[in-house]
Amino acid sequence: MKQLSLLILLLGLIIIAWDYSILYPLKLLVVFFHESSHALAALLTGGSVKELIINKDQGGHVISQGGNQFIILSAGYIGSLLWGVVIYLTSVKTNYDKTIMAVLAVSIIIITVVFSRSLFSWLFGLLTGGAMLLMAKYLAEKYNDFALRIIGLTSMMYAPLDIYSDTISRSYLPSDAYLLAEYTGGATILWGGIWIIISVIVIFYCLKSTLNIAKI
């Protein structure tokens, strides 16, 4: 019961702060996860990445060549969801929060150096990765654990909200679902609905699996 109360508290804090600037860096981080997922999908399906850019307006894009377009286009929303799930699960189910934070930091720095092609993207990626390395080195496990949980939850929650915004409430915008609809011949709202259903199911089972073993 105590674990459930803690989870509800964290989710409540994120929801309350959602439209305030305090979550701005976290939202940018989720955008970074989103775009990084496109880039990694391109590489894993035999393509190449020309550039990865995020901007101060919480947007971004990846320009890739080759690879499986269906997987690449699908990887953004699903990828940011999976980043969140992995970060949250590993922080809850293990006692290696400092190590997890350091690995995440190094991953962000490597992706930034290899793929980023704008000053803002470079600054965000290197400063964020650097800050995480400092947290891993100097802060106690419990503080790294708390930060990882917040990052994981924010990334998970952002996925269905972002999907809804881009593919249902504003289905006319050139989002990933819009481009996928053009590629497959389906409807934007169809792909948005599918991704929302998948994300909600994944989030439900992820949180459910952690309630009985979450660290206090």
pLDDT at residue 216 in the model: 47
Angle between helices 119-138 and 141-164 (to 10 degrees): 150
- Do the domain assignments include residue 6? no
Give the model's confidence band at 171: pLDDT under 50 very low, under 70 low, under 90 confident, else very high.
low
- Do the domain assignments include residue 3? no
Range of the domain at 106: 26-210
**Among 114, 202, 210, 109, CA closest to 163:** 202
- Do the domain assignments include residue 11? no
pLDDT-wise least confident of 32-36, 92-96, 159-163: 159-163
Number of domains, the chain: 1
Q: What would the pLDDT profile of 99-110 be if each residue is shown by its tens digit?
A: 999 999 999 999
Distance CA 190, CA 2 (A): 39
pTM, to two decimals: 0.90
- Do the domain assignments include residue 181? yes
Q: How many CB atoms lie within 10 A of CB 204?
A: 10
Quote the mean pLDDT of the chain.
88
Which of 165 and 109 is assigned the larger pLDDT? 109
Distance of CA 111 to the CA centre of its chain: 14
Which residues, in sequence order, are bridge partners of residue 49? 64
- Do the domain assignments include residue 191? yes
